[in-house]
Amino acid sequence: MAKPNVISKEDLIRHAKQSLTEKGIEKFTLRGVAEAAGVTQGTVYYHFRTKEQLLLEMVQDISVSSLRDISEPNEFILEQAIASAKSRCTYDSPFHKLFFSLVASSFTNPHIRDQLGEIIAIENQALTDNLPYLWAKSPIEGVSSEGWGILLNAVVDGLAIQTLLQKDFPVDTVYQELEHLIKGLHALPNNQGGSR
């Protein structure tokens, strides 16, 4: 295989995100990425053998950057994590359009399904690992930290779906209420929770 033009994989991912944002998922092609990056289509194929591989690497790149907001060692700032999730929660969110398009394609592509499953597992684990910075113990008896991590990640993904489908979805209000809910759980007696 010929050597690629002098462009990094990271730069191609950046150009691919820009192309996806401008053209949408329906018109997104490797040729379009090559044109946006000013390289040959062969260069793109050198780094990414398929469109699906490029899309997955774009999701991974965005996930890694968003995980930084909840994965700082010895520190977890709830407001920062909420703001990060909220910032990607828009009616035209390129990240969520890409993510949910990949979810749909994963039903017929086991490779994409496995990789998306790994990304979600990493997000769940990052949330689980950071919950002790919020709660000394689970605020509700019988709900583990792992359960909370999975549930909180599912809530954020569910809000993203609703935002993509409802142009007037009240993002600001719902995220304020989510933050209030999480802080309210923290305020339960002795941070142990119980039936309420």
Measured between alpha carbons, how far is residue 181 from residues 56, 124, 149, 188 in Å?
33, 19, 15, 11
**164-175: per-residue pLDDT in tens?**
999 999 999 999
**24-48: per-residue pLDDT in tens?**
778 889 999 999 999 999 999 999 9
Residue 69's pLDDT is what?
60
Residues 6+ apart with CB under 8 A from 95: 59, 62, 88
**Count of alpha carbons within 13 Å of 178, Cβ hemisphere only?**
22
Identity at 179, one-letter amino acid code: E
Residue 72's pLDDT is what?
59
**89-132: per-residue pLDDT in tens?**
999 888 888 888 888 888 888 888 888 898 899 889 988 998 88
**Count of alpha carbons within 13 Å of 191, Cβ hemisphere only?**
12
Question: From CA 187, how far away is CA 139, in angstroms rounded?
Answer: 8
Query: 174: buried, middle or exposed (CB in 10 Å: 19+, 13-18, 0-12)?
Result: middle
* pLDDT score of 193 more than 50: no
Residue 194's pLDDT is what?
40
Spell out the domain ranges in the chain. 1-49, 51-191
Residue 40's pLDDT is what?
93
113 and 165 in contact (C-beta within 8 Å)? Answer: no
Band (74; pLDDT cuts 50, 70, 90) = low
**131-163: per-residue pLDDT in tens?**
888 888 899 999 999 999 999 999 999 999 999
Tokens of 20: 């996806």
Torsions phi, psi for 73 (to 5 deg): -65, 140
Greater confidence (68 vs 59) lies with 59
* pLDDT score of 2 more than 80: no
CATH architecture of the domain covering 1-49: Orthogonal Bundle (1.10)
Neighbours of 7 (CB within 10 A): 17
Q: For domain 51-191, is the CATH number 3.40.50.12280?
A: no
